[in-house]
Amino acid sequence: MYKVTGFKRAFLLILAAALLVVLASVLYWRQVTDRLSQDARTVIVSSSRELADNFSRLLGAEFRLLSTVAVSLQDSRLLENQQALVKYLDRQNKNNAFTLMGYQGPDGRAVFSNGGVLPDFISAENVETVYKQKHYISGRRKGPFTGKDILVFAVPMPSPEGEKAGVVFATQTIEFYARTLSANATHGEGLAFILNRKGDVIIAYPRAAYGNVFEAGQHSSYDRGKSALRTQQEITRGESGWTGYTLDGEHRFASYYPLRYNDWFAMAVLPTKSVAEQAQRLVLMSLVLFSSIIVVLGVLLVFILRMQSQSSRALFRMGFVDPLTETDNLNAFRFKFSRAAEAFKKKGIPYALVMVNVNRFKAVNDIYGFEQGDQVLKQVAAALRAGLEKGELFCRSSSDIFLLLLACPDRTELGRRVDSLAERAGRYCRSGGECLPLSLTCGIYLVDEDVPFYIMMDRANLAWASAKQHAGQVCAFYDEQSRRQIVIEKRIESIMDQALRDGEFKIYLQPKCDFKTGLTRSAEALVRWQHPTQGLVPPDQFIPVFEKNGFVLKLDMFMLQQTLQLLKAWKEQGKPVVPIGVNFSRLHLEDPQFIDVLARMADEYGVEHHLLEVELTESVVFGNVELMKNVIDSLHAKGFSVAMDDFGSGYSSLNVLKNLDFDCVKLDKEFLVRGEGNPRMRQIISGLVRMIKSLGSGVVAEGVETAEQAEFLSGIGCDLAQGYYFSRPLPPEDFALRLAQEKEKNSKDHQTQKAA
């Protein structure tokens, strides 16, 4: 009985231990599964967001490139010559990654960079979308010449008249964009998609086994609390989210995040097969080893912890290691950044975020192939990492872009160091034993305020773009002045059209006066921006912005219209009138229709052509002398006078000036400033005036502010003066009153002389 009782006790103890181990194993299995699933979800959500951000930036870059080409074609004569247009498009195409580029006119005829011509390549409905949304991306469609699956990008051709001038488009293969998804495919174990709100797969990596994720979802079973319909509704509404589902016996996590274009979504999918297998192995081991609970329990716990560590490392590798260079990816860099930055702060060491880009890396892939291109990227990464010091960070952000966190005890020394790193990284890159002539461009942001990481990246990117604009410059620093200028420019651009519609731009007239009598002989039309809340906006703030974005075309025509209205009104009211000069941008002068439009507008207002003077700045004139000669001759043929403004501001060449028939030349006010108290400079000004007058042109001195200046300029033969000494710019009503008073005074003086 005792033995039986003892056996029963032992059996019960063993059974209890076994049950305890089984229960503990089951509970632990659930804990491990939940933990690994949570980590997997974190990785997949991060991957979908990163994929959406990267792909949105890529699409934005494509549209900016197309917009640049559209602006360059806007006022070009290339549209009138198909052969020249094809050559131009082909030349542009060779400088980018597009497979083809083209232009489709209002008549629906599409001309491609390879010389092909197709009717209605972009449908009329989609052309309307381009005009309305200012950009367009097609869905997956067949290429016109190769039959490959492609995407089509299009932007509208800018038109100063608001008319529909056609669209500039480009095509790119689906395969090209599929390669950009590879970084989010997590070592080949995951999937990456670009899809629309209907669930249609646009781009996939690897190749998708189905064409619509919603249709595939009908054959899937979803995790508790998440249905196929709910996932479809979230995507249809443009919302981000994640879900777990089982398809063909395999459980997966999927995360979806909206792009900024076309209502498209980025979706990343991660199989959880390995997570489940690891958890199952832990349970089986617990059950097998229950008989050795005292001895094996410790070993089992160690083994379980080790397996958990390995699983975490595997997930960490998928989410935080760049698969090509075996270094940190952007997720890891962002995670480590705050800790490293805090360490620098505690030591009192300034630090900087540096963006490094391999110039024209596409050419390396095109010439040597993607495999050799990957080897080059590895070598660049190794060279950059070799230059790091303790506490500094490195990662491959995407494609051929790398990020560095560097200590910056001295700004000048940092610039030299980054130059050296870039030079070293490009010097030793080889492909198949051949040394490649690589060059790198870097943008540096000295971190001087606590802002989100993505803003730091934007500022480093802005500095990189600045360096890219200057040939031969390796690196550039971001500065606050650049940021403020950008903010000002963006604010101006956001309100400029409304300001023009609301009549905030005002015309002022500055008299050009006779030196001896002070009487007004002509005037220059100047624009002033009277903002309702900010007051008077200085011209040097908005004019450069308008010249850069093309809005100056509208503003010039507004000033011309205002000038013609004033001249017409004064004539109808019997008031005295004088010629008025209007400034015009280079963009107008490159338009072959501009002079005819100018003459037609003057005729519509009934203004004699000699009352309108076309003023051209010196920088415009000397940009293309042959074009300016034709423009000036055409203006003279129409009866308009032509003046060159700001002569002497930096481009002066009398040798060129003698070939251009100006009615008058306006001396820049800087001449007077440099001539103050400088006898040699005064001799130069005097000689310059004589030479200009010998060419048959009148001379107007700008910026005359003192009696001494007026006496000097009058003495050397200047014809007219423009400056505060004689009059500041006046509103039209004050200018008209000045002319009337001068006329009345002249009449009285004449009567007095006649009576005497």
The mean pLDDT of 693-713, rounded to a whole number, is: 91
Higher pLDDT, residue 372 or 532? 532
- Per-residue pLDDT of 384-402, as tens digits, reads 998 899 999 999 988 889 9
The mean pLDDT of 15-25, rounded to a whole number, is: 65
Tell me 508's DSSP state.
E
For the beta sheet containing 440-446, the strands, ordered from the edge strand earlier in sequence to the opposite edge, are 393-398, 401-407, 351-358, 440-446, 475-477
The mean pLDDT of 451-471, rounded to a whole number, is: 82
pLDDT band at 633 (very low <50, low <70, confident <90, very high): very high
Residue 6, pLDDT > 60, answer no
Tell me 716's DSSP state.
T
Residue 699, pLDDT > 70, answer yes
Higher pLDDT, residue 127 or 216? 127
The angle, 0 to 180 degrees and rounded to 10, between the axes of the packed helices 732-755 and 552-572 is 40
- pTM here is 0.47
Q: How far apart are CA 130 and CA 155, in angstroms?
A: 6
Q: How far apart are CA 230 and CA 413, in angstroms?
A: 56
**What was the pLDDT predicted at 302?**
64
pLDDT band at 92 (very low <50, low <70, confident <90, very high): very high
- Residues paired with 412 in a beta bridge: none
SS3 category, 468: helix
**Report for 39-48, 235-244, 441-450: range of highest mean pLDDT:** 441-450
Pull the structure tokens for residue 188: 């080949």
Pull the structure tokens for residue 168: 């500039």
Higher pLDDT, residue 278 or 517? 517
**Report for 314-318, 479-483, 588-592: range of highest mean pLDDT:** 588-592
**Report for 294-298, 378-382, 426-430, 598-602: range of highest mean pLDDT:** 598-602
The answer to whether the CB of 269 falls within 8 A of the CB of 254 is: yes
Tell me 410's DSSP state.
-
* Short-list 275, 239, 331, 328, CA closest to 40: 275
Query: Domains along the chain?
Result: 1-320 (3.30.450.20), 330-470 (3.30.70.270), 503-659+722-748 (3.20.20.450)
Residue 455, pLDDT > 70, answer yes
Tell me 449's DSSP state.
S
Beta strands in 609-652 (DSSP E): 612-617, 641-647
- Residues paired with 156 in a beta bridge: 167
* Residue 313 identity: R
Phi, psi dihedrals of residue 152, rounded to the nearest 5°: -115, 130
Residues in contact with 591: Cβ distance below 8 Å, sequence separation at least 6, in sequence order: 75
pLDDT band at 137 (very low <50, low <70, confident <90, very high): very high
Pull the structure tokens for residue 384: 């950059």
Lowest mean pLDDT among 254-263, 516-525, 649-658: 649-658
**What was the pLDDT predicted at 640?**
95
Pull the structure tokens for residue 35: 């933990």
Residue 508, pLDDT > 90, answer yes
The mean pLDDT of 330-353, rounded to a whole number, is: 91
pLDDT band at 25 (very low <50, low <70, confident <90, very high): low
Residue 685, pLDDT > 80, answer yes
**What was the pLDDT predicted at 119?**
94
Q: How distant, in Å, are the alpha carbons of 539, 541, 565, 730, 744 from that of 528? A: 7, 11, 17, 11, 30
pLDDT band at 3 (very low <50, low <70, confident <90, very high): very low
The answer to whether the CB of 328 falls within 8 A of the CB of 321 is: yes
**Report for 43-47, 158-162, 459-463, 592-596: range of highest mean pLDDT:** 592-596
Residue 144, pLDDT > 60, answer yes
- Per-residue pLDDT of 347-357, as tens digits, reads 999 999 999 99
Burial of 90 (C-beta count, 10 Å sphere; 0-12/13-18/19+): middle
Residues in the chain, total: 756
Place of tokens 């030196």: 515
**What was the pLDDT predicted at 535?**
87
**What was the pLDDT predicted at 635?**
94
**What was the pLDDT predicted at 5?**
47
pLDDT band at 725 (very low <50, low <70, confident <90, very high): very high
The mean pLDDT of 711-721, rounded to a whole number, is: 92
- Residues paired with 394 in a beta bridge: 404
DSSP per-residue letters across 602-616: HHHTT--GGGEEEEE
pLDDT band at 64 (very low <50, low <70, confident <90, very high): very high
The answer to whether the CB of 117 falls within 8 A of the CB of 107 is: no
- Per-residue pLDDT of 580-593, as tens digits, reads 999 988 888 888 89
The mean pLDDT of 160-167, rounded to a whole number, is: 81
The mean pLDDT of 614-619, rounded to a whole number, is: 80
Lowest mean pLDDT among 215-219, 454-458, 611-615: 215-219
pLDDT band at 469 (very low <50, low <70, confident <90, very high): low
**What was the pLDDT predicted at 344?**
92
Pull the structure tokens for residue 276: 């489940």
**What was the pLDDT predicted at 1?**
41
**What was the pLDDT predicted at 129?**
92
- Per-residue pLDDT of 362-384, as tens digits, reads 877 777 788 888 888 888 898 89
**What was the pLDDT predicted at 118?**
94
Q: How distant, in Å, are the alpha carbons of 73, 432, 434, 462, 589 from that of 634? A: 23, 60, 57, 43, 11
Higher pLDDT, residue 247 or 430? 247
b/e map 666-685, b = 16+ CB within 10 Å: bbbbebbeebeeeeeebeeb
**What was the pLDDT predicted at 320?**
82
In a 13 Å sphere around the CA of 435, the CA atoms on its Cβ side amount to 7
pLDDT above 70 coverage of the chain, percent = 81
Q: How far apart are CA 726 and CA 208, in angstroms?
A: 77
**Report for 122-131, 290-299, 322-331: range of highest mean pLDDT:** 122-131
* Residue 710 identity: A
Residue 285, pLDDT > 80, answer no
Strands 520-531 and 505-514: antiparallel
* Residue 102 identity: G
**What was the pLDDT predicted at 48?**
83
**What was the pLDDT predicted at 294?**
56
Pull the structure tokens for residue 370: 């993607």
